[in-house]
């Protein structure tokens, strides 16, 4: 007979771990600045005249600064949004990408461009994140919403039972499973004919 009052199965809740938005923003700014420096160096090398190596900063410094601000804004806003919402999902990327794209539109100084850049960045990065967030494919991030949970899963997934470990390594050499002393006494008695009586404390 079926239980008239079945116990409802609650969906598994993933615990959210707070992120350091300032640290992420600094890392994003450094990464964006490095990409901007690379782009400025390419712009400098394609110049027709001989303008010198310092033109990377003097002439194309706006490129470096723009990409550094873009990286900082994206990472900081994404993590700050995740902390405020206490969820790690695609909407955080949408918010971060909109603000990051808007910083590029600030150079134009016109509101339609600011909103347009924000919308374009938001659509592209949200689509990328929603479809797995990787150009290589592989496992989806949805199954491991947090790096800590992913590592815990890998650790538990690769844990082997103690019986299997003892069966492969054998007893002795510091490995003493239950009943080890009795089996050791029997082996010594069979092999050498020596009886070892356990010491009893009275």
The region of weakest confidence among 9-13, 29-33, 61-65 is 9-13
pLDDT category of residue 170 using cuts at 50, 70 and 90: low
For residue 146, give the nearest of 18, 9, 12, 8 by alpha carbon.
18
Mean pLDDT throughout 118-124? 93
Confidence of residue 143 (pLDDT cuts 50, 70, 90): low
pLDDT at 131 over 70: yes
Looking up tokens 């190596």 gives 53
By residue count, the chain amounts to 202
Place of tokens 């010198």: 52
């Amino acid at each position: 007979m079926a239980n008239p009052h079945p116990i409802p199965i609650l969906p598994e809740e993933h615990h959210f771990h707070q992120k350091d938005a300032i640290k992420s923003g600094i890392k994003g700014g450094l990464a964006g600045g490095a990409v901007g420096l690379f782009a400025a160096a390419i712009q400098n090398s394609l110049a027709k005249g001989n303008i010198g190596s310092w033109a990377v900063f003097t002439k194309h410094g706006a490129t470096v600064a723009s990409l550094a601000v873009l990286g900082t804004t994206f990472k900081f806003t994404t993590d700050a949004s995740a902390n405020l919402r206490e969820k790690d999902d695609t909407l955080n990327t949408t918010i971060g990408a909109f603000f990051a794209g808007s910083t590029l539109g600030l150079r134009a100084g016109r509101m339609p461009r600011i909103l347009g850049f924000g919308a374009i960045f938001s659509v592209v990065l949200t689509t990328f994140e929603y479809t797995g967030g990787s150009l290589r494919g592989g496992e989806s991030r949805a199954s491991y919403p947090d790096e800590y949970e992913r590592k815990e899963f890998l650790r538990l997934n690769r844990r082997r039972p103690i019986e299997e470990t003892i069966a492969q390594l054998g007893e002795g050499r510091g490995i003493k499973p239950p009943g080890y002393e009795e089996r050791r006494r029997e082996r010594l008695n069979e092999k050498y004919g020596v009886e070892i009586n356990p010491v009893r404390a009275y």
